Amino acid sequence: MSEELLQQLAVCVERGKVNQASPYPPDMKGQDGADELTRKALDQGVSPNDVLEKALIIGMGNIGKKFSANQVFVPDVLMAAKAMTAAMGHLKPFLDSGQVKTRGTFVIGTVQGDLHDIGKNLVCMVMEGGGWKVVDLGVDVSPEKFLAAVQANPGAAVGLSALLTTTMVNMEKTVKLIKGEVPGTKVVVGGAPLTQEFATKIGADAYSPDPQGALDYLNINVAA
| Position 117 contacts ligand B1M (CB under 6 A) | yes
| Position 129 contacts ligand B1M (CB under 6 A) | no
Its sign, for the CA torsion 68, 70, 74, 80, is negative
- Whole-number minimum distance, CB 180 to ligand B1M, in Å? 20
By CB under 6 A, the residues from 180 to 209 that bind ligand B1M are 188-193, 208
Instruction: Give the separation between CA 33 and CA 30, rounded to whole angstroms.
Output: 9
Residue nearest to ligand B1M (CB): 119
CB count in 10 Å sphere of residue 219: 17
Contact letters for ligand B1M, residues 4-23 (x by CB under 6 A): --------------------
- Whole-number minimum distance, CB 186 to ligand B1M, in Å? 11
Among 41, 111, 214, 218, binds ligand B1M (CB under 6 A): 214
Among 116, 156, 174, 222, binds ligand B1M (CB under 6 A): 116
| Position 157 contacts ligand B1M (CB under 6 A) | no
